[in-house]
Amino acid sequence: MTFIITDPCLETKDTACVDVCPVDCIHPKKDEPEFEQATMLYIHPEECIDCGACV
């Protein structure tokens, strides 16, 4: 099962979840070129290990 980003984080780029992710599967990160244009963050399903740290 893969986690999805829902209502509390829609249309925001709060990177608190990025900071706790042990496998860096939440994109775009602050250092990625897409970060400035992105309206929200996304969880890459193939990288996610379903640890629940971001919840």
Q: What percent of the chain has pLDDT over 70?
A: 96
Eight-state DSSP code of residue 16? H
pLDDT tens-place string over residues 8-33: 777 778 888 888 999 999 999 889 99
Phi, psi of 43 (to 5 degrees): -95, 120
- The C-alpha atoms of residue 16 and residue 8 are separated, in whole angstroms, by 12
* CATH assignment at residue 7: 3.30.70.20
Average pLDDT score over the chain: 86
Can you give the residue range of the structural domain that contains 24? 1-55
User: In the prediction, which pLDDT does 48 show?
Assistant: 92
Q: Provide the number of structural domains found in the chain.
A: 1
Query: How many other C-beta atoms are found inside a 10 Å radius of the C-beta of residue 32?
Result: 10
The answer to whether residues 15 and 38 touch, using CB atoms and an 8 Å cutoff, is no
